Homo-oligomer: A and B are copies of this chain.
Amino acid sequence: MEFNLYSSVALLSRTPSALDALLRDLPEAWLSANEGEKTWTPIDIVTHYLYTEQVNWMPRARHILEHGETEPFPPFKRFGHLTGPGTKSLPQLLDAFASARAASLSELRSWSLSPSDLARRGQHPALGSTTLAELLSAWTVHDLTHLHQLTRVLAVQYTEAVGPFRKFLGVLHCAGHSAPA
């Protein structure tokens, strides 16, 4: 499927409410669970959505439109959300992410991007030349990557509890691939 702005916005606009439906007021045992040392909890994942919303996607889209390939995107720390002080509760994180996402999409729509805008190129500091359409596609799949991770983080808590059913439960056979180096 080729990139389609309308289809991407449709998915991007749904992520905050999907996270909210799944996580708000979920028992603490789920929210503080992870997959082992240096892996993320559901709260870390929502913090990462909020952090990347603020420092990554729209700033880089703006950078392409303003600078093209004349200067690379400013680098950002993919795991920067883990280094700052975690002062927000989960409900606050969900609310902040929903607001930030709504603002992002409002600005994105206001640009009325043309096919030639979407074909404009920027320089990713690690990945090299990339188009605006590729950046917006990656934003969409990034949302899905961390939903994919979230379902696994929750599921593995019951790896032993499911007993013989483990065989039939695909998510328990996911090796984990949400944050390759």
Shortest Cβ distance from A63 into chain B, in angstroms? 15
Shortest Cβ distance from A157 into chain B, in angstroms? 4
Write the chain B residue with the least CB distance to A78: B168
A29 and B9 alpha carbons, distance in the complex (Å): 13
Q: Indicate whether A14 sits within 8 Å of B22 (C-beta atoms), given known contacts A151-B148, A163-B130.
A: yes
Interface of A is mostly: helix
When the two chains form their complex, are residues B177 and A141 in contact, meaning their CB atoms are under 8 A apart? no
Report the interface size for chain A: residues with CB under 8 A from the other chain.
66
Which A residues contact B (CB, under 8 angstroms)? 1-4, 6-7, 10-11, 14-15, 17-18, 20-22, 25-27, 29-30, 33, 78, 124, 127-131, 133-135, 137-138, 140-142, 144-145, 147-149, 151-152, 154-155, 157-158, 160-165, 167-174, 176-180
